[in-house]
Amino acid sequence: MKSRIVLLGPPASGKGTQADRIASAFGVPHVSTGALLRSECARGTSLGREADEWTRKGLLVPDELAVRIVTTWMQSNGPRFLFDGFPRTVGQAENLDASLVAMKAPLDLVVLLEVPEDEIRRRILDRLSCMKCGATYAAALHGHAVGDPCPRCGSPLVRRNDDTEETLAQRLDVYRRMTLPVVAYYRENSPGILHRIDASGESDAIFAELSRLMNS
């Protein structure tokens, strides 16, 4: 079974949802750098305040900050993880590889979830999130409104301050320019571990495909 996994994909490609499902089915810790940053921000730490300057504009936080939050996580939890939203730049990917080489624990699976941009737009503009447990919901599909209790943990649902039309354009642009090159990086540097999944369809079918890769 795979135990060091990176999930890549544009915003709202289902990384968080699938990472949660894989984490509970396979017992690998789900680490979302976006959720870690939002939690720092909610607690009002200096790292959180710095991160918020970038995330609210749809920009990536500086590599140094993203790497710091992941390194801190690995120091207390060890090299078993499913990263969702990290690495997002080639610099972060190089940094992660260097840390894993030092631990003699290389990545064993990278999966790119592919979703067309019109579908991403539809999903993001309809998305409500729980800041406490990280769950996300399609408002139209599930009849949820801002302020309703999260069905999973009871905290009020919110619209993330970066889930807006203006910020989305910026996030998609950043994804194309900064994160797509990470796919090429793994294709060239870690032959055989990169897989692509069409993530525009049914959640169950995507989960089945991911599970197959986890067991392969």
Please confirm, yes or no, whether 15 is among the known catalytic residues.
Answer: yes
Residue whose Cβ sits closest to ligand ADP? 34
* Options 2, 21, 123, 127, the catalytic residue: 127
Query: Does residue number 34 form part of the binding site for ligand ADP (CB under 6 A)?
Result: yes
* Options 2, 15, 21, 123, the catalytic residue: 15
Query: Does residue number 61 form part of the binding site for ligand ADP (CB under 6 A)?
Result: yes
Q: Which of the ranges 50-58, 144-152, 183-191, 201-209 carries the binding residues for ligand ADP, by CB under 6 A?
A: 50-58
Q: How far is the CB of 216 from ligand ADP (least distance, A)?
A: 25
Please confirm, yes or no, whether 57 is among the known catalytic residues.
Answer: no
Please confirm, yes or no, whether 88 is among the known catalytic residues.
Answer: yes
Query: Does residue number 171 form part of the binding site for ligand ADP (CB under 6 A)?
Result: yes
Q: Which of the ranges 18-26, 31-39, 98-106, 200-208 carries the binding residues for ligand ADP, by CB under 6 A?
A: 31-39
Give the 3-state DSSP-derived string for the chain, with helices as H, strands as E and coil as C: CCCEEEEECCCCCCHHHHHHHHHHHHCCCEEEHHHHHHHHHHCCCHHHHHHHHHHCCCCCCCHHHHHHHHHHHHHHHCCCEEEECCCCCHHHHHHHHHHHHHCCCCCCEEEEEECCHHHHHHHHHCEEEECCCCCEEEHHHHCCCCCCECCCCCCEEECCCCCCHHHHHHHHHHHHHHHHHHHHHHHHHCCCCEEEEECCCCHHHHHHHHHHHHHC
Query: Does residue number 11 form part of the binding site for ligand ADP (CB under 6 A)?
Result: yes
Query: Does residue number 37 form part of the binding site for ligand ADP (CB under 6 A)?
Result: yes
Tell me, by CB under 6 A, how many residues bind ligand ADP.
19
Query: Does residue number 14 form part of the binding site for ligand ADP (CB under 6 A)?
Result: no
